[in-house]
Amino acid sequence: MSHTFFISDLHLRSTHRQISAKFLDFMQQQAAHAEALYILGDLFEYWAGDDDLDQPFHQKICDAIRALSQNGTAIFIMCGNRDFLMGSDLVKACGATLLNDPTLINLYGQPTLISHGDTFCTDDVAYQNFRKMVRGASWQKQFLAQALATRKQQIESIRAQSNQEKKQKESHIMDVNTEAVCALLREHHYPIIIHGHTHRPAHHLIHLDDVTCHRWVLSDWDDSVRILRASPNGIEFVTL
């Protein structure tokens, strides 16, 4: 039966071999039988720019994605909050299509809004201000003009600072804001929503304006991995 997979928040890096091995096995086994694979952000721990494609680990990951694409599975990639600098060179190397965030798709006859999910976390005002800055063309132009090694050092420093700040934030601030989700549901005429980012895999039912809406939150890959599988018969989590 035709089916599609949705994944996010892998945070792949060369030093975490277990997760990388899980991903490569998934690509060769389960994903090889799917008609499409959507990677909804944070494929990598971070992405300093497409000029880092020559790094052996990155080549290995891109080669695996491209092999899947050449085998007939359509690949769609969306930037996350860690790898928002992914560009056309990376996407070309993967044989994939880069999607805007959010994107509305037709999922086996069901209108479905897909997103990384960080834009839903509107209670985290400091993060939203940072996100707006680094997604700006001016900031990215200046940042990418620096040497690759300098960029990586800056990103490592930002990540360390972010991890410290997270310890001071209440848990609910880093989760999605219900009003933000409801606004999107109304704007797009009550679609299914699929997103990642929060590392809180779940299936939520939202009762809004006499309509019952579905919000699926994708799993991270740190511990038990739950892949979201969609088919003409519906949507479900499957454990990797």
Give pTM, 2 decimals: 0.96
| Contact present, 69 and 95 (Cβ < 8 Å) | yes
Place of tokens 């990598």: 44
Place of tokens 């985290």: 124
Distance CA 128, CA 196 (A): 16
Distance CA 65, CA 213 (A): 32
Query: At 215, which helix (H) or strand (E)?
Result: strand 211-217
Distance CA 2, CA 60 (A): 28
Q: What is the mean pLDDT of residues 182-207?
A: 97
Distance CA 211, CA 6 (A): 24
pLDDT, tens digit (0-9, with 9 covering 90-100), for 14-68: 999 999 999 999 999 999 999 999 999 999 999 999 999 999 999 999 999 999 9
Q: Phi and psi (nearest 5°) for 152?
A: -65, -40
pLDDT score, position 57: 97
Strands 97-99 and 74-78: parallel
Which CATH number is associated with domain 4-116+177-239?
Answer: 3.60.21.10
SS3 37: strand
* Residue 118 pLDDT exceeds 90: yes
pLDDT, tens digit (0-9, with 9 covering 90-100), for 147-179: 999 999 999 999 888 888 777 777 778 899 999
